[in-house]
């Protein structure tokens, strides 16, 4: 991580291939999002470090990411953890030179890679949050998925209010492990999704599932491990591996957004078949996650 601590603020130095405005486009995709707020070209987010709330404001100036702390100045260790969170959240440790070299020669990605140059996979660093978000999004449209997430966060998450604005934390796995299926059904979750989410929370609480363990496994091991749990199929596993675990080979090939993006870019009247997508993706080896993320970006014009 390349950064400096100036006590009252932090300065992070991202790689050359970084476009903060492109990241804001993705982060702005739903007005129902509660877990960050975008104001005047900056993004505000609440995290918890050692049981202490840390509210940070992320802006960009002269090729540097400027991180300020509107609530109060955190400790030196907390500032470091905030910087590490942002580094991971924006995938700043990834060298994208190979992706752009591949994309420039690809008949599909060459249409969009320069257009969105500097966009990075906006991650979900917390394993529980990424799994729950993926489960929520199964087989429903994005607007309803955000609606369910909003209800879930407001019902079970913690919050902080500053100058009339409320900032939210995603509910903890400890909290969700202690609730009943009926508690989620009241929010319009299906009984099955409620069971999946509570089951995942219990697995993390019991130590049967952890980010640290998954990061020490290869792609195939991780996929096998994740899909052993109820509610986690191939698409959910790849989605989580892409947005939480930073596996560039993860490829949620059944994703509806991916299909719609390909349909639009290729001028098809129908969504492409899985076998066709496999053919399109032959050149993407090692960069399937980034190819998918850039295709998702093409939907937000």
Catalytic residues: 255
- Residue (of 107, 131, 154) closest to 240 by Cα position: 131
Half-sphere exposure of 148 (CA within 13 A, CB side): 23
At residue 4, the 3 state secondary structure works out as strand
Count of CB atoms within 10 A of residue 273's CB? 10
Facing residues of 10 across strands?
5, 67
What is d(CA 54, CA 46) in angstroms, rounded to the nearest whole number? 6
Residues in the chain: 301
Q: Are 61 and 80 in contact (CB under 8 A)?
A: no
């Amino acid at each position: 991580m390349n950064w400096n601590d100036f006590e009252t603020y932090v300065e992070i130095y991202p790689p050359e291939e970084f476009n903060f405005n492109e990241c804001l486009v993705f982060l702005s995709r739903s007005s129902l999002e509660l877990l960050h707020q975008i104001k005047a070209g900056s993004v505000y987010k609440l995290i918890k470090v050692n049981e202490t709330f840390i509210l940070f404001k992320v802006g960009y100036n002269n090729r540097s990411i400027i991180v300020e702390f509107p609530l109060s100045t955190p400790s030196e260790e907390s500032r470091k953890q905030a910087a590490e969170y942002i580094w991971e959240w924006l995938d700043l440790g990834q060298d994208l030179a190979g992706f752009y070299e591949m994309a420039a020669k690809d008949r599909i990605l060459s249409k969009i890679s320069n257009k969105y140059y500097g966009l990075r996979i906006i991650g979900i660093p917390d394993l529980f949050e990424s799994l729950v978000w993926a489960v929520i999004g199964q087989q429903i449209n994005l607007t309803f998925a955000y609606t369910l997430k909003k209800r879930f966060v407001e019902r079970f998450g913690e919050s902080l209010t500053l100058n009339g604005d409320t900032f939210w934390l995603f509910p903890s796995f400890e909290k969700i492990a202690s609730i009943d299926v009926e508690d989620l059904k009241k929010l319009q979750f299906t009984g099955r999704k409620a069971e999946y989410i509570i089951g995942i929370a219990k697995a993390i609480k019991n130590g049967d599932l952890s980010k640290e363990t998954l990061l020490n496994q290869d792609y195939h091991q991780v996929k096998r491990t994740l899909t052993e749990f109820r509610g986690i199929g191939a698409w959910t596993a790849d989605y989580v591996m892409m947005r939480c675990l930073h596996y560039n080979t993860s490829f949620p090939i059944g994703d509806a957004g991916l299909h719609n993006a390909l349909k639009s870019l290729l001028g098809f009247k129908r969504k492409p078949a899985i076998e066709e997508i496999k053919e399109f993706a032959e050149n993407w080896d090692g960069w399937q996650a980034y190819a998918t993320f850039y295709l998702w970006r093409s939907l937000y014009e």
